[in-house]
Structure 1
C-alpha cells in the first residue's frame, strides 16, 4: 500500500485519518491506499503558507523558475515507471498508456520551463519623453484541482504553467488518483522553496473549501457539475475560474470515406483509456451510404480488443476507474436499449472482481438518449445514421457541451464547413487524436472557460498592468 501524505508549508504529514478515503484497484478490488481528508484548518494553513511565499517566488527570476521545472522534469523522467504503475494501480489505466501520460507530462514541463522566461508584456507608443508599457505579473495563489483519468499529464500542465509564471500552488489531485498526485508532489517539492507548493488530499469537501478560500485562481479540470460549483464560488470570492470540464464529443463519418478506416478511428476515439478521456468520442453520426459497413467494422474492432488488468502489457482495455463509474455507464446503456437502441456488441456487466466493462457499440440511437446527450465517460460508441452532412453538423451542434469534435471526410469543402460551424473549442479532421504541440482552444458552453493548454495558459495565469513613467515636472523636471 502507498502511504500518501500531505504537504503544507514545506512539512509532510498525514493529518487525521478520521473519514479517510479508501482507494481500491479497479482490476481486483485490492486496497491501494487510504488517504486523509484535509481539514478546514489544513486548508487555511496551506493558503496562508502559499500567500506568504508569493513575495519571494514572484521575485525569483523567470529563468530560475524555469530551471527548477527542468529539474522536476528530470526527476519525473527517472521516476516514470513508478508514476505509471501508480496510475495503473489506482485507476486501472493500461500500463503502456500510463507510461505515455508520464512522457507527455515531461514534455509539458519542459515546454513551460522554456516558455516562462520569454513570457513578456509589450511597450506602448506614447509620448517619446515618457515610458509606457504593459507588464505581466503572477496572479498570486493558484488552487489546482486535477482529474483522475490522466492524472500526471494534466497536472503537469497546470502546475508547470502556474509555477513558471511566479504563482504559488495548492495542489489537490482527485480523490480517485491521490497516489499519482502525491508522487508528483514529491518531485515538485524537492526543487521548490517551502510554501511555494502545497499538497492537500480529499474529496469534494476539500475542493469546495479551496474554491471558496482566499486564492487568486481556481484551475479545475474535471466534471462540468463541479466546474459550475467552482464558477459560482469564484463569483463570490473574486478569484479567477479557469475551467476545462466535461464533453460529449461528436464524430462525423462522411459519405465516400473508407468505412473500415473510419471504424478504426472511431474505436480509437471511443475506447482508448476505456473511454475515460475528456476528448473521447462520445457520439457518432454516420452518413447512410456507409453506415452498414461502418457499424459492422466498428463492432469487429470492439470485439477484437483485449480486456484485462492494466498491469498486463497485453491489455488494450483496462477496467473503469471504479464500480460507481461502471454503474453510471451501464445505466446509460440500459436506458438507451429501453428506448429502442440495439447492442451490436458489449453492453453486459461481466462477472468477477473489479470494474470492467466491455467495449460497446449501440445502433438505432436518438438524440434524446443520455448516451448521445450526456458525457458517458466509458467505452461506449453510440451511432446515429443521418441522411446528409448538413444534418450531421446540425445534430452534432445540439449539445450542452463544446469541447471537441472530429470529422472524417474526403471533401475539403465539408472540412471547411465543419470547422467553421461546429460550436466547439477543437475540431479535428481525419484524426481523432493528434495535432501540433502548443495548441490551445477555448472550450464552449458547459465544457469550461479559458485557455487550459499551450502558451496561452501563461496569459491566463498572469495579470497585465499598464505602467506610465514620465519625468517629474517643474524647473528641475529632468531625470
Structure 2
C-alpha cells in the first residue's frame, strides 16, 4: 500500500492485515543517481573476465542458500505465499544463479568464412545498463533469472523489486550486490512511478515481468529511447480437456493449474474448455478438488487484488454464469478468497477474456475438440496453454495451432530444465529465461580484421 503523503510503502501481511514494515519510495533524484552509478560502473564490469563475473555469481548463490529460510519467511509475510512454496521459489532462484554462472563464461560468438588474408568473427558483448523490474508472486526465482543473466554477461543493473514485496526483493538483491563491485547492482525501492522513471531513463535494456498494461507502457518507452525491451507479461492460459481422458485426473490437473499459489502464477490456468462427453464427471471431480484445495490455499497478495478477482467472478455471475463452489468473499482478517469453480461461462465474460490471477476455474463446455481449440486460439494473450488428450493427432494439431510461447501436453506444470519460450501478443516479447536470455542481454558485433596493403 503506497502512501502518497509520506512517500512510503506500507507492507501488510495478507494473512492478518498486520503491518510488516514501511519502505521509503526512492525520489526521482535518487533514481537518477542510481542510474549514474550503474553507468559509471559499466565499463569496468564489462572488462572484468567472464570467469570472475561467474565466480561472483557463484558466491552470491551460496549467500542466498545460507539465507534461504529468511527469504522464504519474508516472502510469506509480505505476499502470503505458504512457507514451503516460498522456499521452493528460493531454491529455484539459487539453481538459476548457478546455471547462469556456469553458462556465462561459455556464451560465445562464431567465426565467419571470409577471404584468406582477413579474419571475420561475431562476438557478443554486454548491452550496458539494464533496468530490471520484477514481480511479487515469485520474487526470488524471477529476479534470479533476470539479474543473473544480466550480470554474468557484463551488464550493470538497476533493480526495482515489486512494491508488494519490497523487503524480500531488496534482501535478495543485497545478497547479490555484496559480492559485486560498487555500482554494478543498484537497488531502488518504490512504486510504479519509480519503475516508469527507470524504463524511460538512460538504460540499454528494460527487463520486466508483470502486468500487460505496464509492459505496453514500457514498450512505448523503449520505442522512444531505443532500449531493448524483454517482457513477460500477463496471460490468459487455456486448458483443453479432451474426450477420452480420465475425468478425475483431468480435474486434478485443472485444480493444480488454477489454484496453486492461489492462482497467482504467470502460467496459471485461466480458462477451461471441457468436451461435452466428459463434462458431468469432470465438473464433479473439479468441485471435489476445490474443496480439498480450500484447506491449503494461502491468501491473495492484498485486498486490492482480491477486489479485482472477485470483480471478475461477480461480473460473470451477473452475465449468467453459476458457481459450483466458492465465489464469495469470506469473513475475517486477511485477503483470502476461496477456490471457485464457475460454469456457464461465455467468451464475452472478462473471466474468460482477461487475466484473473486468482483461484478461479471458469469452465466452458464445448461440443468437441475442434471447438475447444478454436476458442482457445482466439485470445489477446500468448503466454502458455495446456492440452489433456489421449489423441496424439489432437496433441499435434494443438501445439501447432496455439499462438503461445509454451504448450504443455498432459501435464499442466512441468518441463525439462533449460527450456525457454517467447511470449506473444499481450504477454510480452523476448526470451525471459533459459540460456537464450543471455542472448537477450548481449549485443553481437561483427568484426572484420584485414592486414594493411604491403608497401
* Smaller-chain TM-score bracket: over 0.9
The C-alpha deviation readout for 1:99-147, integer Å capped at 9, x for no partner, is: 1000100110000000000001100000121110001100000000000
Q: Is the 8 A contact 1:17 1:37 kept in 2?
A: no
Question: What SS does the aligned partner of 1:468 have?
Answer: strand
* Correspondence for 2:165 among 174, 177, 185: 177
> Per-residue deviation at 1:306?
4.1
> Per-residue deviation at 1:18?
3.3
Give the equivalent residue in structure 2 for 1:152.
140
Give the equivalent residue in structure 2 for 1:11.
none
Question: What SS does the aligned partner of 1:55 have?
Answer: helix
Q: Does 1:200 align with 2:180?
A: no
Runs of 4+ in 1 over 3 A off after TM superposition: none
Give the equivalent residue in structure 2 for 1:359.
339
Give the equivalent residue in structure 2 for 1:236.
224
- Distance in 1, matches of 2:153 and 2:229, equals 17
Question: What SS does the aligned partner of 1:174 have?
Answer: coil
- Distance in 1, matches of 2:444 and 2:393, equals 40
Q: Does 1:383 align with 2:327?
A: no
Give the equivalent residue in structure 2 for 1:52.
40
**Where do 1:48-447 residues align within 5 Å?**
48-307=36-295, 316-447=296-427
The C-alpha deviation readout for 1:220-260, integer Å capped at 9, x for no partner, is: 00000000000011111111111000000000000000000
How many residue pairs get matched? 452
For structure 2, the 5+ residue unaligned runs are none
- Distance in 2, matches of 1:186 and 1:459, equals 25
The C-alpha deviation readout for 1:291-324, integer Å capped at 9, x for no partner, is: 11001100000011244xxxxxxxx210000000
Question: What SS does the aligned partner of 1:50 have?
Answer: helix
The C-alpha deviation readout for 1:201-226, integer Å capped at 9, x for no partner, is: 11010011001101000000000000
**Where do 1:28-43 residues align within 5 Å?**
28-43=16-31
Q: Is the 8 A contact 2:12 2:21 kept in 1?
A: yes
Question: What SS does the aligned partner of 1:458 have?
Answer: helix
Give TM-score scaled by structure 1 length. Answer: 0.93
> Per-residue deviation at 1:17?
9.4
Give the equivalent residue in structure 2 for 1:449.
429
- Distance in 2, matches of 1:296 and 1:121, equals 55
Give the equivalent residue in structure 2 for 1:466.
446
> Per-residue deviation at 1:185?
1.5
Q: Is the 8 A contact 2:301 2:335 kept in 1?
A: yes
- Distance in 1, matches of 2:192 and 2:366, equals 41
- Distance in 1, matches of 2:270 and 2:46, equals 42
> Per-residue deviation at 1:474?
3.1
> Per-residue deviation at 1:398?
1.1
- Distance in 2, matches of 1:180 and 1:432, equals 28
Q: Is the 8 A contact 2:145 2:433 kept in 1?
A: yes
Question: What SS does the aligned partner of 2:167 have?
Answer: helix
Give the equivalent residue in structure 2 for 1:12.
none
Q: Is the 8 A contact 2:294 2:339 kept in 1?
A: no
- Distance in 1, matches of 2:255 and 2:369, equals 21
- Distance in 2, matches of 1:32 and 1:218, equals 30
Q: Is the 8 A contact 1:50 1:141 kept in 2?
A: yes
The C-alpha deviation readout for 1:365-402, integer Å capped at 9, x for no partner, is: 00111110000000000000011111111100111100
Question: What SS does the aligned partner of 2:419 have?
Answer: coil
